[in-house]
């Protein structure tokens, strides 16, 4: 391959194309079509069913922003649960906190296998952390059966079609809320802030009955179509907006973060009015 364009059809009328120079791997797993590409701009990229999931160059943005706002909303998390996140980047960010254990439940073992083989800089050794526990299995079934309660649950899913559809339902959020400790926090990626306002509104509606506070925040994930991406947090305890900057600074000291900052925490929740209105209108 001398150079070809990988086009990520974010929505019907807006696409992003990234120049790729080599396809390192391709397979049809039992769940999805998995590819790994090399690109000059983003380094190696994991592509599932044609959609860019993560890249070496910008994975820290998505993973920092899915992990830290929620983990910091909980006053002192000891146990975390990750649903999805097979590339291990979210696990790495999560384990920067002084947890006892982080359990990751990924439905597709091939994603973990190929990420460890080709994208090991993304997990950066997190799979070998003695506090990490990896379960290859269905996240919905796992949560339904789980006895152990966790302080923070993070859902790093693909788009709400195919294997991930159930991860966006009110039923799943209710069961998850039931598996959280009293100050428990759930965070999910809730889609493009540019062209999935309906999805964001649905996630918020589905979370509302089970959580005391529901808040949506955004980050600019460079390799994703539309760039501006949303995350939604449900908290049984503290409001994410009540986390003092000084506490964020203290608890993230030495983490080496490159996107998330104490000031950026509040800013991420402060959606521009046009976006807040567009979500509220759905």
Report the C-alpha gap between 69 and 61 in whole angstroms: 12
Q: Catalytic one among 156, 178, 242, 270?
A: 156
Binding pattern for the stretch 166-195 against its own copies, x by CB under 8 A and - elsewhere: ----------------------------xx
Contact residues for 167 (Cβ-Cβ < 8 A; gap 6+) = 83, 84, 139, 140, 155, 157, 160, 188
**Stretch near its own copies under the rule CB under 8 A, chosen from 34-42, 127-135, 232-240, 247-255:** 34-42
The separation between the first and the last C-alpha atoms of the chain, rounded to the nearest angstrom, is 43
Two tokens at 281?
């209108």
Report the C-alpha gap between 257 and 189 in whole angstroms: 19
> At which residue do the structure tokens 């439940």 appear?
105
Residues 194-253 within binding reach of its own copies (CB under 8 A):
194-195, 220, 222, 226-228
**Stretch near its own copies under the rule CB under 8 A, chosen from 37-45, 95-103, 113-121, 157-165:** 37-45
**Stretch near its own copies under the rule CB under 8 A, chosen from 46-54, 122-130, 202-210, 272-280:** 272-280
User: Rounded to 5 degrees, what are φ and ψ at 181?
Assistant: -70, 170
Query: What is the three-class DSSP state of 175?
Result: helix
Residues 153/186, Cβ–Cβ less than 8 Å: yes
Answer for which of 26, 33, 40, 212 binds its own copies (CB under 8 A) is 40
Answer for which of 4, 16, 101, 127 binds its own copies (CB under 8 A) is 16
CB of residue 241 vs its own copies: minimum separation in angstroms? 11
Answer for which of 60, 62, 217, 231 binds its own copies (CB under 8 A) is 60
Report the C-alpha gap between 239 and 233 in whole angstroms: 10
Q: Pick between residue 225 and residue 234 the one whose CB is nearest to its own copies.
A: 225
CB of residue 258 vs its own copies: minimum separation in angstroms? 4
Answer for which of 161, 165, 267, 280 binds its own copies (CB under 8 A) is 267
Q: Applying CB under 8 A, does 4 fall inside the site for its own copies?
A: no
Residues 226/257, Cβ–Cβ less than 8 Å: no
Count how many residues are written for the chain. 282
Report strand pairing: 43-48 vs 33-39. Answer: antiparallel
Q: Pick between residue 88 and residue 226 the one whose CB is nearest to its own copies.
A: 226
Instruction: Give contact residues for its own copies (rule: CB under 8 A).
Output: 5, 7, 11-19, 39-41, 60-61, 194-195, 220, 222, 226-228, 257-261, 263-264, 266-267, 270, 272-274, 277
Provide the annotated active-site residues: 156
């Amino acid at each position: 391959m001398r150079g070809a364009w990988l086009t990520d059809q974010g929505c019907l009328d807006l696409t992003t194309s990234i120049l790729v120079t080599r396809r390192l791997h391709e397979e049809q797993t039992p769940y999805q079509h998995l590819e790994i590409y090399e690109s000059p701009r983003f380094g190696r990229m994991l592509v599932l069913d044609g959609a860019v999931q993560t890249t070496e160059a910008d994975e820290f943005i998505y993973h920092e922003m899915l992990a830290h706002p929620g983990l910091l909303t909980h006053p002192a998390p000891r146990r975390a649960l990750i649903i999805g996140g097979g590339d291990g980047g979210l696990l790495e960010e999560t384990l920067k906190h002084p947890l006892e254990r982080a359990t990751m439940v990924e439905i597709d073992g091939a994603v973990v296998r190929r990420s460890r083989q080709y994208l090991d800089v993304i997990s950066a050794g997190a799979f070998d952390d003695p506090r990490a526990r990896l379960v290859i299995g269905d996240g919905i079934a796992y949560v339904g059966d789980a006895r152990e309660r966790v302080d923070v649950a993070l859902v790093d899913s693909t788009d709400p079609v195919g294997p991930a559809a159930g991860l966006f339902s009110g039923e799943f959020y209710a069961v998850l809320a039931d598996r959280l400790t009293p100050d428990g926090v759930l965070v999910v990626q809730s889609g493009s802030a540019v062209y999935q306002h309906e999805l964001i509104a649905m996630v918020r509606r589905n979370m509302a009955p089970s959580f005391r506070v529901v808040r949506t925040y955004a980050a600019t994930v460079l390799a994703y179509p539309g760039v501006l991406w949303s995350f939604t947090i449900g908290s049984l305890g503290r409001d994410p907006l009540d986390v003092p900057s000084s506490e964020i600074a203290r608890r993230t000291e030495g983490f080496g973060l490159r996107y998330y900052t104490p000031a950026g925490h509040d800013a991420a929740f402060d959606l521009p009015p046009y976006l807040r209105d567009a979500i509220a209108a759905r």
